[in-house]
């Protein structure tokens, strides 16, 4: 009965022009097969219209990998569409690894059909949590194991600014379980070396930064910072590096407004920034051309620095902090349910003696809504309905 219904449905769809006829020799079963990019890859097949040809991009990336002595390069999802550029995949969950002879992308069940359409035949789709599909670390470990044993090492490159410290450290341990010679190394962002404005990369469009008034927040930013400092002091912590954009916007009562072409900012009132809070001072790093007199007045007492030089600033700042306050520990945040935490680049800039890898206390603070915030949430839900 199932077979008969299948053929009747297929015939109806073909006659309507909705689908292509089945390939010769196909035998239907009652097993639900997911679509794969191994279809539409034959010489006479018609590829989906939204596929991107990545042949030249992958060849250029592999040439950069050769120059740097890499056996693999990891491209995670990020807010500047780098994964989309190298693979063609535009979903909101995914990560890729490129070796000298393969390119693979992992994504979850929400994007199996989309990724099968968007990935060209240079790529292999790895459907997460499906039977027989190796997870990200296992596939890399198994595929570099022999190379590492034969050559003394196998080097995986990744941009430390794009990966959370917690994720990076977990992957390091996982790769070593396959071979002590497999190393995860911070390298330049190779996609940025290849994808430039000269060959079509759009210039960044950044949001303006606006004050989020007390009538919407229900609590001044000074009060929030005081509460945060008390929580830090209770745990014998001197300060925290706040890298999650929603936490920065919440604790300082500021929001992003206007257009942006950065993926993470498309539907969120956020803005590029980095924040350091300790018991004595606050440093906010943002794009200077977005700093208005109103913002400076709102953030009276906050040192506003240039976002573009954030890593150099942090390096100098924390070297000085380690000398002046060797007992003053700083939280560098771990991944949360939905965000990656502080990047591995930030993690490395805080000296080990004063570094504490831990969950951000701001997550729990902003989870407990005051009356004004609760009313705002209800109003938003009503409008959405």
Q: Which two tokens stand for residue 219?
A: 């609590």
pLDDT at 182: 98
Sign for the pseudo-dihedral over CA of 79, 84, 90, 91 = negative
Q: Which two tokens stand for residue 345?
A: 């680049």
Mean pLDDT of 140-158: 97
38 vs 92: which has the higher pLDDT:
92
User: What burial class does residue 30 get, using C-beta atoms within 10 Å of its C-beta: 0-12 exposed, 13-18 middle, 19+ buried?
Assistant: exposed
Residue 187 makes CB contacts below 8 A (sequence gap 6+) with 68, 70, 73, 157, 158, 159
Point out the least confidently predicted range of 29-43, 55-69, 315-329, 359-373: 29-43
Q: Which CATH class is domain 208-375?
A: alpha beta
CA–CA distance, 89 with 50 (Å, rounded to integer): 10
Domain boundaries, the chain: 1-33, 55-198, 208-375
Sign for the pseudo-dihedral over CA of 177, 186, 274, 239 = positive
Length of the chain, please? Answer: 385
CA–CA distance, 343 with 266 (Å, rounded to integer): 21
CA–CA distance, 377 with 370 (Å, rounded to integer): 11
pLDDT at 261: 80
Please, what is the angle between helix 245-252 and helix 221-234, to 10°?
120
Considering the entire predicted model, what is its pTM? Answer: 0.86
Q: Is the pLDDT of residue 33 over 60?
A: no
Please, what is the angle between helix 165-176 and helix 136-151, to 10°?
50
Mean pLDDT of 17-45: 50
Mean pLDDT of 365-372: 94
**Domain formed by 55-198, architecture:** 3-Layer(aba) Sandwich (3.40)
Q: Are 329 and 356 in contact (CB under 8 A)?
A: yes
Point out the least confidently predicted range of 197-201, 234-238, 241-245, 298-302: 197-201
Give 79's pLDDT tier (boundaries 50, 70, 90). confident
pLDDT at 35: 39
Give 47's pLDDT tier (boundaries 50, 70, 90). confident
With b for 16 or more beta-carbon neighbours within 10 A and e for fewer, the 46-68 pattern comes to eeeeebbebeebbebbbebbeee
Helices (H), 105-164: 112-118, 136-151
CA–CA distance, 14 with 198 (Å, rounded to integer): 44
Give 136's pLDDT tier (boundaries 50, 70, 90). very high
Same fold yes or no, 55-198 and 208-375: yes
């Amino acid at each position: 009965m199932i077979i008969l219904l299948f053929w009747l449905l297929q015939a109806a769809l073909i006659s309507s022009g909705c689908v292509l006829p089945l390939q010769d020799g196909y035998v239907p079963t009652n097993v639900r097969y997911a679509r794969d990019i191994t279809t539409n890859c034959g010489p006479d097949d018609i590829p989906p219209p939204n596929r991107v040809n990545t042949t030249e991009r992958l060849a250029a990336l592999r040439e950069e990998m050769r120059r740097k002595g890499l056996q693999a390069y990891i491209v995670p999802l990020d807010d500047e569409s780098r994964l989309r550029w190298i693979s063609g995949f535009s979903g909101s969950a995914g990560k890729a690894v490129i070796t000298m002879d393969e390119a693979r992308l992992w994504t979850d069940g929400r994007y199996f059909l989309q990724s099968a359409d968007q990935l060209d035949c240079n790529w292999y789709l790895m459907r997460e949590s499906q039977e027989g599909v190796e997870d990200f670390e296992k596939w890399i470990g198994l595929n570099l194991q022999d190379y590492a044993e034969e050559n003394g090492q196998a080097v995986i490159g990744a941009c430390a600014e794009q990966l959370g410290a917690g994720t990076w450290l977990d992957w390091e341990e996982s790769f070593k379980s396959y071979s002590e010679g497999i190393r995860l190394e911070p390298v330049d962002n190779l996609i940025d070396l290849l994808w430039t404005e000269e060959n079509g990369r759009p210039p960044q469009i950044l949001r303006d930064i606006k004050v989020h008034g007390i009538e919407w927040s229900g609590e001044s930013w000074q009060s929030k910072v005081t509460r945060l400092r008390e929580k830090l002091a209770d745990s014998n912590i001197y300060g925290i590096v706040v890298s999650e954009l929603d936490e920065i916007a919440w604790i300082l009562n500021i929001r992003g407004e206007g257009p942006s072409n950065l993926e993470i900012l498309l539907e969120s009132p956020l803005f590029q920034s980095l924040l350091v809070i300790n018991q004595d001072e606050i440093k906010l790093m943002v794009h200077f051309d977005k700093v208005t007199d109103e913002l400076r007045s709102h953030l009276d007492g906050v040192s506003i620095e240039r976002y573009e030089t954030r890593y150099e600033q942090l390096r100098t700042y924390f070297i000085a902090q380690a000398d002046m306050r060797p007992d003053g520990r700083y939280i560098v945040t771990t991944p949360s349910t939905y965000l990656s935490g502080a990047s591995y680049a930030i993690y490395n800039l805080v000296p080990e003696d004063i570094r504490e890898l831990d969950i951000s206390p701001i997550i729990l603070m902003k989870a407990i809504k005051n009356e004004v915030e609760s009313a705002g949430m209800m109003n938003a839900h009503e409008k959405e309905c």
